[in-house]
Amino acid sequence: MTGENIFRQKGRYLVTVADDLGRSSSVNLSISEAHDRGIVTAASIMAGGGAFDEAVRIVLNRKHLSVGLHVTLCDGHSVLQPSLIPDLVDSNSNLEESPVKAWLNFMRPGILSQIEAEVEAQFSRLEEAGIRPTHVDSHHHLHMNPLIFEVVCKSASRRRVGWIRLPNEPLSVVLHSRFSSRGIMPFAEWAVFSMLRAYNYKIARKHGLNVACNTLGLSQTGSIDEKYLLYTLSRVRGLTNEIFTHPDISTVSGRKELEALTSTGVRSRVAYLGIDLIGYKDLPREDVVLNSVLERT
């Protein structure tokens, strides 16, 4: 069956993920609203977040919300005690705040075993709370570091997690003139993540993890608005797509993202384009297999 015939017979799925669940009550409230009134179908939870317990109560009361682990190795708090991961945190369990410094820190000898222990602990905390994660990604996308990626894949595979995030935004979206407020940074990120994606994709498949055909949102991280969503929705290609977002009523940019995710115009565009909003846990099994075939073509 050719790709063209596949798309005549199959719809296009969109998983809209809200990151940072559990980080704070304002984030939790925003994600709840974006799911209840908007297009969010999945959320990624921070196991060491200050509002983790509240987040657990929220997701357990929303059976249609897919929940994944937002692996946190910087700009947050660890699950393990500092004595067990002394090269990752300070005495108060604070992880390195800067993503760049954390990325470089991962190259230190002997630190990989500590990272593996912390990732395992984060997965375990979700399971102990009654959450079976459907997907995995990470805060500031540090899991894309090749040294970390296989660690995350191994832990996810052991728990039968189905999906892992590999940012993959069409260049047309990155270069669109309306979204150039970040200067050349979106293009630089696109180039770097494209190389990392090519390498990490093989690792993901080796461990049985699925990857969306397109994963959008990187070029506008922290500043997604209605215009971006309306433009990007028309660029959704392939069978399974993901858009990741960061709604948070406590910040100006976070409120704009919440407004976009609950916009009637966005929901109308989704319906007009025939895109099926779905969570990772609800994707039909045969479509998961088909998506893997399409991803390689």
Supply the pTM of this predicted model.
0.92
Q: Is pLDDT at 288 greater than 60 in this prediction? A: no
What pLDDT score does 11 carry?
66
What pLDDT score does 290 carry?
46
Q: What is the pLDDT of residues 142-178, one digit of tens each?
A: 999 999 999 999 999 999 999 999 999 988 888 875 5
The angle formed by the CA atoms of residues 116, 119 and 121, to the nearest 5 degrees, is 110
Contact criterion met (CB below 8 Å) for 56 and 28: no
CATH code, 59: 3.20.20.370
Task: Please give the share of the chain, as a percent, with pLDDT higher than 70.
Answer: 90
What pLDDT score does 284 carry?
75
Q: What is the DSSP annotation of 193-214?
A: HHHHHHHHHHHHHHTT-B--SE
How many domains are contained in the chain?
1
Give me the helix-helix angle, 25-36 and 252-261, nearest 10°. 20
For the chain, the average pLDDT equals: 90
Cα separation of 145 and 228, whole Å? Answer: 27
Contact criterion met (CB below 8 Å) for 240 and 213: yes
Whole-number Cα distances in Å, 30 to 52, 58, 87, 278: 14, 11, 33, 19
What pLDDT score does 234 carry?
86
How confident is residue 79, by pLDDT bands cut at 50, 70 and 90? very high
What contacts 273, CB < 8 A, 6 or more positions away? 12, 233, 234, 236
Q: Which domain holds residue 42?
A: 3-295
What pLDDT score does 188 carry?
86
What contacts 106, CB < 8 A, 6 or more positions away? 73, 112, 115, 142, 145, 147, 148
Q: What is the pLDDT of residues 87-146, one digit of tens each?
A: 999 999 999 999 999 999 999 998 999 999 999 999 999 999 999 999 999 999 999 999
- Mean pLDDT for 246-264 is 97
